[in-house]
A and B are shown apart, each in its own frame.
Chain A
Amino acid sequence: MSDLFQDYSEAAARSGAYDEMFAPGHVARKSYGQVSGALRELSLADVTARADSMARTFLDRGVTFDYAGEERPFPLDIVPRVIPADEWDVLERGVAQRVKALEAFLNDVYGRMAVVTDGVIPRQLITTSAHFHRAVHGFEPSGGVRVHVSGIDVVRDAAGTFRVLEDNVRVPSGVSYVLENRRAMAKGLPEAFGQQHIRPVEEYPRRLLSALRKTAPAGVDDPTVVVLTPGVFNSAYFEHTLLAGLMGVELVEGRDLICRGNRVYMRTTAGEQRVDVIYKRIDDDFLDPLQFRSDSMLGCPGLVNAARAGGVTIANAVGNGVADDKLVYSYVPDLIRYYLHEEPIIANVDTFRLEEKEAREHVLDRLDELVVKPVDGSGGKGLVIGPDATKDELDALRKRVIADPRGWIAQPVLQLSTVPTLSGDRFGPRHVDLRPFAVNDGDDVWVLPGGLTRVALKEGSLIVNSSQGGGSKDTWVLANSPQMPAEVIPRQSVTVREQVSVWPVESNWRDRQTEQQQ
């Protein structure tokens, strides 16, 4: 190893976490063989130059997220995260299983509520969820799918076991970085691609579009799909433009849409055009001022009624938030057994439900050892990590938990697995998570090979969110070598014919050539 990895093993041992690249004793794991070989050849100057040029490309291409009104490039680390084929196989099946269970759960919750009648989950838990929307109760969305796109966050604990940390079935974001990261890495660390088969990610937009078209309202032959964005100031605006661009569909804002007679139209230069499927990238609360927040200028009045009447498909369906409520999360293993009659393939993280008196008392005694999260938060907002919190923070937290036990859950502090990450003049272990993305077209759940690996850039930090100083890594899923990725078409050699290989030249060309030779 070059001296870029000096002190790495000590730092890794300090954190006590599972390291993705090195097995104990500083031996590179088999899946990382090629990556570690490529990195060994590079000097510090090489690595920094490549990292700089990758960052510059991101800024030029506008691969940014909006933070406090400022466009920032999303930091991409030069060391990829590699997942061997057998591990991915488990993840893939586990994620698909979860998505199917959540889909069934949502259908049930907004319909007969059999899950409550059968005593699997308390009714109160559902009706008190901030994202349970009565406005969409009692109808099946056209197309029959509610969770078109989902992102299931998984982490690896100290023993190396994958566990689900949370589900995102409302508006999961980050897939654009998966696509951009792969492009950037192909230029930044080409040596590491070499001899191994890395499963491609670029089919995502095609899969998404075909799922969206497939779930269009009945009777529409050639559905018009649009992406609905809150606008240019949204932190994920880049992602919205990228997806719309790659799918070749319009990116609309609420003011471009109009609802009439339970149909949705967009204003175009050629008059109004019917919209059949809306890929919604805006929170439910802002979607329809007639049903939700009446002061919202981002949505379009009448969308929910149009969806109820079957005039438009909204993806993901309105009201999905009840399924990624963190308290419902703690029931997901039960839901999998209830709906699918299967055992969960990926386990949950142990979770204390603070509504239960015993659990609450237990947790309140050990606040300084646990992570406490609000049930409906996203982006790491409101989360308190016990060991890192001050006494005042813990006291404040205690009061809030007692005041609203339904609003919080507690989990043990997990030492997320680490991957080497460039920091200053060397690599150090940094904690990562993984968000695989799944696309559901009603018949089949397809999981994008890989997903977004987010990394906490500060040493020891466990918070990977981009708004709190996180970066990302390209995520490689290795294919079993005999089984080639489906995309690759066998190469055919081209025969060059004499006539076409001669380039036409002007009349003076030959003269000049002879002149130069003399």
Chain B
Amino acid sequence: MLSRIAESLFWIGRYVERADGTSRILDVHLERLNHLPLEEQRSVARELLAVMGAKPQSEEFGLPELLHALAYDKQSASSIAGSLGAARENARRARETVSQSLWESLNTTYYGLNQHRKDVVGTYRFCNWVLERTAMVRGLADTTVSHDESWLFMVLGRSLERADMTARMLSTRDVQSAGMSWVNMLRCAGAYESFIRTRRAAFGDQHAAEFLLLDRLFPRSIVYALRDADECLAKLDPSAQRVGFINDARRIVGQARTFLEFHRTDDLMSELPEHMERVQKAVTQASDAISRKYFNQADEHAWVGEVS
């Protein structure tokens, strides 16, 4: 398939997952932010934005600005509206490759972005709506696109972004001075029921973090997402069966995963922010390596003369 199309598909996967993760984080934190006194609300809003990888544009940064930056700002690729817009734009460019229903669901999602009240109450509904829409997009991608190269690029983007998003989600725990309970953290990832059934009621903070970080069966855990990405990479490039890895992306993803899996859990917990940063860095590096290998485009016209 065309490199340009592969890149678009990869980013559709990433952007949709980003919108999904951001709306989960926003939804859970909004609830707590509302209870805080105004002064504290401001500082927490700032820190939350920093975890999502953006800087406040102005001095006055409170709750409404946070909502704008994370949910409605169409200019920014880290907001929900921005990433859904970007996903739709990529689908438009790859329209003959994605299925009609996948394109249509992204397109109608894009047109639905404006139909929400942009206050706190409206944002709860907005987040829920986004979760539904992204679930639909994923479902259609899984059921209406052949699971060939094109789908693998989409899933690859999705898994990398998911690892990154869960890492960010875990980092936000330190943001709120009041301390975010692990119950909420689990709810945020949609992992509460799975976790309870695995661990029964007897659990502590550590177990919850472990679950989101290391569980091999829960799809939103970092280890699971990284393993998914690794499998996609393996299918995309089936060479190098016997010795080592020549694929940079696979090496980076594999290293990040095994580092978490084989680390002592106690140590992991005491240095959680550092580890989460490492995961995010690995995702960025892997993404770069993938684009070097598969999407590399000549930026300018290259003309090779008559004689080959």
Contact = CB atoms under 8 A, between A and B. Distances in A.
A237 to B, nearest CB: 8
Nearest to A238: B95
Nearest to A306: B306
Interface stretch (A100-108, A264-272, A314-322): A264-272
A24 to B, nearest CB: 45
* Interface class of chain A by DSSP: mixed
B96 A241 contact: yes
Contact of B298 (A250, A251, A255): A255
Q: Which bucket holds chain A's interface residue count?
A: 35 or more
B169 interface: no
A201 interface: no
Of A62, A250, A258, most buried by chain B (CB within 10 Å of CB) is A62
A232 B92 contact: yes
A269 to B, nearest CB: 5
A263 B307 CA distance: 10
B301 A255 contact: yes
B188 to A, nearest CB: 31
Given A262-B306, A297-B301, A256 B107 contact: no
Q: Which bucket holds chain B's interface residue count?
A: 20 to 34
Contact of A300 (B5, B6, B92, B301): B301
Nearest to A254: B301
A301 interface: yes
A261 interface: yes
Contacts of A59: 111
A266 B2 contact: yes
Nearest to A271: B3
A267 B95 contact: no
A251 B236 CA distance: 22
A297 B4 CA distance: 16
A377 interface: no
B104 A252 contact: no
Interface in B290-308: 294, 297-298, 301-304, 306-308
A241 B2 contact: no
Contacts of B307: 261
B194 interface: no
Interface in B1-52: 1-6
6 contacts: A62-B92, A241-B92, A242-B96, A258-B302, A259-B304, A267-B298
Given A241-B92, A244-B96, A256-B2, 12 more contacts: A59-B111, A61-B100, A232-B92, A232-B93, A250-B1, A252-B2, A256-B3, A256-B4, A261-B307, A267-B298, A268-B3, A269-B2
State the 9 A-B residue pairs at the shortest beta-carbon distance, nearest first: A261-B308, A245-B96, A301-B303, A244-B96, A241-B95, A260-B304, A251-B96, A241-B96, A269-B294
